[in-house]
Structure 1
Amino acid sequence: MDGAKAPRIRLNDGNLMPVLGLGTFLGFDENGQKETKDGEVEVPVTWALNAGYRMIDTASAYKSEDQVGKGIAKSGVARENVFIVTKLGLHEQRTVVDSLKKSLQRLNTSYVDLYLIHNPVALKPDHSGFDVIDYLDTWKGMEEAKRLGLARSIGISNFNISQMERLLKNCEIRPAVLQVEVNLNLAQHKIHEYTKREGLALMAYTPFGSLFDKTGVPPPPRVQRGIVPIPKSVRKEKIEENIDIFDFELTENDMVELYNFNKDYRVVWPSFWQDHPYYPFEKKDTPDDDLFKPKPKE
């Protein structure tokens, strides 16, 4: 075999996807989204693939697709054995196919294994404010990307149940995957049941949530619920530890205890977007004005 540690599941379009992957978003600091330094993503990607990962999650918005491509090339793992996930930028929803082609150039590949709409909220190309684009129209571009062979599977991220219902009633090609925040504080029970019923794979970002400080040992990712986690790390030992979870199972009592831990608390909650007509999350009485807020390009 090629050294892969995570088994694969079959998506509703017939393609196979690993049940665990590496997230590559570096997060935010006091200046907003962190700048990606040389090697900061490339090296962890290589570590991950050498440790047995076979899925790498990135996005146009992360500004690290080029480093993901370099990390895959340096790993020595054949491209056909790596499941690459990237996402359509919020400011790219009027140009789906062209935007994916640019991502492919940065990733140095002719196709991605999974292409996601990053968010139903759309921004103007210069990031200066909202752009109102029906996500059904955006999805038509996603379907075209799949037909052209630029994306083997297509899906969505940060959609709520009512948005998924509307999409499934009006699409020609069904989404294969939904990616949302899932962790102990935000179990997403309703969304999980919905995706199981409708045949969508559920992928979890921020799978460790905000419960644990940097010195703590988090619980294992939530593969046992049938949810595909993409834990992020830039530390070699943590990357290696996070994938070594397939030699044990939680008991039924353990699963019940974890199930009941849910607090419906979001780590990622960009409430300053809540006036957008396709905002997918709960609204706040006083929206935050925080690090996620898009800033006009200079």
Structure 2
Amino acid sequence: MYARRDVLRAGAALGLLAASPWLHARAASGLLTRTIPSTGEALPVIGAGTSGSFEVEAGSPQYQQLGAVLRAFFEGGGSVIDTSPNYGGADSILGQLLEEGGWHKQCFLATKIAADSQADAQAQWQGSLRSLRTDKVDLLQIHNLRDWQTQLPYARELKQQGKTRYVGITHYLNSGQDEVARIVRSEPLDFIQINYSVNAPQAARELLPLCQDKGVAVLINRAFDDGRLFARVKDQPLPGWASEVGIGSWAQLFLKFAISHPAVTTVIPATSRPDRQLDQLKAGHTPLLSQAQQQALIEQFG
């Protein structure tokens, strides 16, 4: 549970961010896009993750279903997919599916370094390229700030070599956000990736506005709190105002909450089901949530 002052601070921060130079344009699919501040490149606001969902056996029925998930994703206007070499082989499955579907050129591919020395990072990076069946990625992130003082300079070397176009850092817990903010203040970054959801809105108080000020793009993880939010709303109706903003499911509501903050570039929910992928993409269309609607959700789930 959050103290009332935390809820009020988050709501106040949302009010300050009602306008932003990075706000939405429309992709050809109708999905909203946000621009990466360091380059102006536009990305769709709904992306995808691979943790858990892509940890399957190649050729299995689950693997075939993931092919349908990716087809729905790309045909629906998605591009950003986030993976990691320590997601139980998910990057290998993703790489194989991207190759089989001919989707590498459509994919904004984000992966991570999760290593404790530069030698380990170099070996891991080579393994990631093999698994992902590519010679470069779009975004290379330091996973959960692991040995970031060593790995961030290495990621920048890879950027200079043309092996990645962007570099960033990640975390997934509220407890890591203060350190993420310190790094954003002191280091030039293209991206951060953090948690932000109706029941964990703390990033809106300081970190998201800071990223706007510093020109840093933001990926959002754990918008569903690893599925726990769905358990909380089981058999509950959507808010009465949901249909006014085109929301037809709780998943859409949770995702639309995240992208309604103008500092957010893309949210990256994971799914292994094509129907859920199609449902999630629907969250990436206007209208977005008003400040009052966002605040009501924070109070409901806080």
TM-score (norm 1): 0.71
1:161 aligns with 2:178: yes
1:199 aligns with 2:212: no
Secondary structure of residue in 2 paired with 1:154? strand
Q: What whole-Å deviation, never above 9, does each CA across 1:70-114 have from its counterpart, x for those lacking one?
A: 22233344x333101111124565443442232111111121111
Whole-Å separation in 1 of the counterparts to 2:180 and 2:267: 22
Letter in structure 1 aligned against 2:200: L
Shift in Å at residue 237 of structure 1?
Answer: 0.6
Matches for 1:1-298 after TM superposition, within 5 Å: 4-14=29-39, 15-26=41-52, 36-38=56-58, 39=60, 40=62, 42-43=66-67, 44-62=69-87, 63-77=89-103, 79-91=104-116, 94-121=119-146, 133=147, 135-158=148-171, 159-166=176-183, 168-169=185-186, 171=187, 174-187=188-201, 188-189=203-204, 190-209=206-225, 210-213=228-231, 217-218=249-250, 219-221=253-255, 222-226=258-262, 227=264, 228-245=266-283, 246-261=285-300, 263=302
- Number of matched residues? 241
Query: Quick one: structure 1 residues 52 and 58, their matched pair in 2 at CA, closer, same or farther if it must change by over 3 Å?
Result: same
Secondary structure of residue in 2 paired with 1:160? helix
Secondary structure of residue in 2 paired with 1:211? helix
Query: Quick one: structure 1 residues 2 and 110, their matched pair in 2 at CA, closer, same or farther if it must change by over 3 Å?
Result: farther
| The 10-residue stretch of structure 1 (228-237 or 242-251) with the greater mean CA deviation from structure 2 | 242-251
Gap runs ≥5 in structure 1:
28-33, 122-132, 264-298
| The 10-residue stretch of structure 1 (41-50 or 224-233) with the greater mean CA deviation from structure 2 | 41-50
Secondary structure of residue in 2 paired with 1:106? helix
Gap runs ≥5 in structure 2:
1-25, 236-248
Larger relative helix fraction: 2
Q: What whole-Å deviation, never above 9, does each CA across 1:263-297 have from its counterpart, x for those lacking one?
A: 3xxxxxxxxxxxxxxxxxxxxxxxxxxxxxxxxxx
Whole-Å separation in 1 of the counterparts to 2:29 and 2:119: 37
Whole-Å separation in 2 of the counterparts to 1:85 and 1:37: 22
Secondary structure of residue in 2 paired with 1:186? coil
Whole-Å separation in 1 of the counterparts to 2:43 and 2:122: 22
TM-score (norm 2): 0.70
Relative contact order, higher structure (CA 8 A, sep 6+): 2
Whole-Å separation in 2 of the counterparts to 1:105 and 1:11: 27
CA contact (8 A) 1:18 1:83 kept: no
CA contact (8 A) 1:11 1:200 kept: yes
| The 10-residue stretch of structure 1 (153-162 or 56-65) with the greater mean CA deviation from structure 2 | 153-162
